[in-house]
Structure 1
Amino acid sequence: MGPAVGATPPDPGVPGASRPGRRRLPETSAVLEVRRAVRAWSGEFAGGSGVVAVALSGGADSLALTAAAVIEADSVDALIVDHRLQSGSAEVAAAAAAAALALGCRTARVLPVRVGVDGGMEAAARRARYSALDTARDGHPVLLGHTLDDQAETVLLGLARGSGGRSIHGMAAYTEPWGRPLLGVRRAVTRQLCADLGLSPHEDPHNSAPEFTRVRLRCEVLPLLEEVLGGGVAPALARTAEQLREDGAVLDALAGELLAVARCDADSLDARARADAGGDGSTLSVETLATAPAALRRRVIRSWLLAGGAKALTEKHLRAVDALVTAWRGQGGVAVGGGSPRTRLVAAREHGRLTLRER
């Protein structure tokens, strides 16, 4: 599984093509598209070339990403997670490591993990994978091979949850330490790059197993939507996610300002009320929140709850706490998850303030 090395002249529009000692790749449209995507990501989020790690599964997407990153970054360390869920997984991981070195990676490390059972196999494998990558990255960003098609699937999954705009933001191009340079690249392009370089990607049987929801979205739902709506569905979903992330960033900034005001206004209450309410700076003024637009108020409540230690927040939690502000009828507090083993974390309305305490 070794890369084909092209002997064509370097493209002056792609930095790194003429660097001494750099491996040249065929200048096919697929190769250049992936390289430019990695270059753009590096310029925006990494300040140009640098040292990066790449999460390499051996599939087409991560192989294409690795090939491009070797050209566009100063140094690349390949990290191959062996989930040990299938027979022969060690051989697949070893082949991916060999391909990484052949492509020009500085190092290639196989990371065997133990996958638990909590939350189902998909979720457990994801937790194990990200934990291993985070431990092994040595402080460098980790590039992931998620493509535009993966983004479309993620948006559809979020839409099904129905928990507001945040659930259909999709994946961000960079959430430290995770980078996703290929969110604008179609899966077909990464496969074509592998073909152009003579690479043989590993085909994970889990990626075609119909018992997984994402696989059915990929193989059944999205093709049907493309047929019914006349094409362009995946790019449209990806554009929607990007627009919602941009809008969400503005709302989050405004919510941060409102949160500071609500805290300050709560602190202006008299000393007795502060003592009764907890007096630890973790309270919010109900009056300030009640006069704010719903989109900002709920963002404030969400940030406040998370900062206070709330776990696994749901839309139901947020709306119940919001009702303490906007639909107050003397109702009791709202348990929001978190707290110590013998207590619950409860949001309540007391003396015109929202409080968050263990009970």
Structure 2
Amino acid sequence: MAKAPAALHAARKAVGEALDPEGLTLVGCSGGADSLALAAAAAWHHQRTNGPLAGARVGAVVVDHHLHPNSVEISGRAVRQLKGLGLDPVRIFPAQVDLHSADGPEAAARTARYRAFRTAMKELGATRILLAHTRDDQAEQVLLGLARGSGTRSLAGIPRQRGPFHRPLLDLTREDTEAICAHHHLDPWQDPANSDPRYLRSRIRTQILPFLEEQLSGSIRESLARTADIAAADAAYLEQDAKEVFAQLLEDPDHTGILRLKLKPLREEPPAIRRRVLALAAVAVGAPNPSFERLTAAEKLITGSRSAGPVQLEGDVSVYRGARGTAEYGKLVLVPPPR
């Protein structure tokens, strides 16, 4: 076998830090170069007989979205290669994609995929799943966040870990994963959706990022990924601060589920914390994460709007400022959706 590419050693090190040394770790695999490279790095640990991760159990899950006419064949080819690497167990799980979702086909497929991952974890008794997002994916995600104007958390891009999901390859490139696959004589599947201009992410990948590299900087992908790391640290700090402020300002909820926040100290918080506290309160009473527009409208109730509300948030949640002369005066009140 030819000399291993430097990226393989980096991948093995990063994967080793993400594996559960005592439980079953699954590799989420589509059959593409990124996830096969991740599987190859994980298999190296799976087969070791010494060291701190000796005996670490690594399997794989292939999610079949049934969106490609040859999806059964594609999934089967991925399974054969994963078993050839020595991973065990290796299973295919179907994903039920809502093609009529208002969020669009990409978001619907993602929702279905993560649902299948959780089912796989439960059925196979796994404790975590490794996903094969790379630095290229991170750069694309940051550009998507910029396009949507979604704030610090969106610019933070793809998290390295969230719950049981770990992404150890975020410091590697797509070119690195292709080199790892070539070294192991793996045959990755090329998903045509990755270059389909109907999808925004595909246009970013095939048109916008290459244009920015040519016209702005050849290191734009690294710069965007670095932006994600910085924004992630900032967002985590602000979110933790907001959680502490939320706990301090929240009055004990009554049996109706209505939440009341002390208005004056909330008004004195900086906007970055104030908005996050509002979002936490909205989610606590049953709303999805509020949009920027709805959050801005609710924030005006805190900062001195003549109107006391109510302001409607997503999920049928309403917010108003307690009226003078009532027990709710000096409080911001969030009312859950009717049952």
* Same fold (TM > 0.5): yes
Q: Distance in 2 between matches of 1:49 and 1:151?
A: 30
- Percent identical pairs in the alignment equals 40
Task: Identify which of 31, 36, 43 aligns with 1:63.
Answer: 36
Pairwise mapping of residues 265-344 of structure 1 onto structure 2 (< 5 A)? 266=251, 282-338=259-315, 344=316
Q: Distance in 2 between matches of 1:142 and 1:347?
A: 39
Task: Identify which of 66, 70, 79 aligns with 1:88.
Answer: 70
Report the 3-state secondary structure (helix = DSSP H, G, I; strand = E; otherwise coil) of the residue aligned with 1:55.
strand
C-alpha deviation, 1:279, in angstroms: 7.8
Q: Distance in 1 between matches of 2:34 and 2:97?
A: 23
More displaced 10-residue stretch of structure 1: 279-288 or 138-147: 279-288
Is the counterpart of residue 76 in structure 1 residue 46 in structure 2? Answer: no
Whichever residue aligns with residue 349 of structure 1, its letter is R
Q: If the length of structure 1 is used for normalisation, what is the TM-score?
A: 0.84
1:130 alignment counterpart: 114
Pairwise mapping of residues 234-245 of structure 1 onto structure 2 (< 5 A)? 234-245=221-232
Pairwise mapping of residues 97-246 of structure 1 onto structure 2 (< 5 A)? 97-117=79-99, 118=101, 119-137=103-121, 138-246=125-233
| Structure 1: tracts of 5 or more residues without a match | 1-5, 9-25, 268-273, 339-343
C-alpha deviation, 1:255, in angstroms: 1.3
Task: Verify the 8 A CA contact 1:262 1:288 in the aligned structure 2.
Answer: yes
Whichever residue aligns with residue 75 of structure 1, its letter is R
Report the 3-state secondary structure (helix = DSSP H, G, I; strand = E; otherwise coil) of the residue aligned with 2:259.
coil
Q: Distance in 2 between matches of 1:180 and 1:89?
A: 25
Q: If the length of structure 2 is used for normalisation, what is the TM-score?
A: 0.88
Q: Distance in 2 between matches of 1:30 and 1:251?
A: 34
Q: Distance in 1 between matches of 2:22 and 2:208?
A: 38
Structure 1 residues 106 and 292, CA, compared in 2 at 3 Å: closer, same or farther? same
C-alpha deviation, 1:41, in angstroms: 3.4
Report the 3-state secondary structure (helix = DSSP H, G, I; strand = E; otherwise coil) of the residue aligned with 2:7.
helix
2:332 alignment counterpart: 354
CA RMSD of aligned residues (A): 2.0
Q: Distance in 1 between matches of 2:259 and 2:240?
A: 19
Q: Distance in 2 between matches of 1:253 and 1:30?
A: 35
Whichever residue aligns with residue 321 of structure 1, its letter is A
Q: Distance in 2 between matches of 1:28 and 1:162?
A: 38
Task: Verify the 8 A CA contact 1:49 1:72 in the aligned structure 2.
Answer: no
Whichever residue aligns with residue 200 of structure 2, its letter is T
Task: Verify the 8 A CA contact 1:55 1:145 in the aligned structure 2.
Answer: yes
Instruction: Give the count of matched residue pairs.
Output: 317
Q: Distance in 1 between matches of 2:257 and 2:14?
A: 47
1:31 alignment counterpart: 8
C-alpha deviation, 1:336, in angstroms: 1.1
| Structure 2: tracts of 5 or more residues without a match | 47-55, 323-328
C-alpha deviation, 1:312, in angstroms: 4.6
Task: Verify the 8 A CA contact 2:27 2:60 in the aligned structure 1.
Answer: yes
Whichever residue aligns with residue 124 of structure 1, its letter is A
Kindly provide the CA deviation profile for residues 269-299 of structure 1, in whole angstroms up to 9, marking residues without a partner as x. xxxxx98xx8857210110101111111111
Is the counterpart of residue 247 in structure 1 residue 260 in structure 2? Answer: no
Whichever residue aligns with residue 132 of structure 1, its letter is A
Whichever residue aligns with residue 333 of structure 2, its letter is T
Q: Which runs of 4+ in 1 moved over 4 A?
A: 278-281
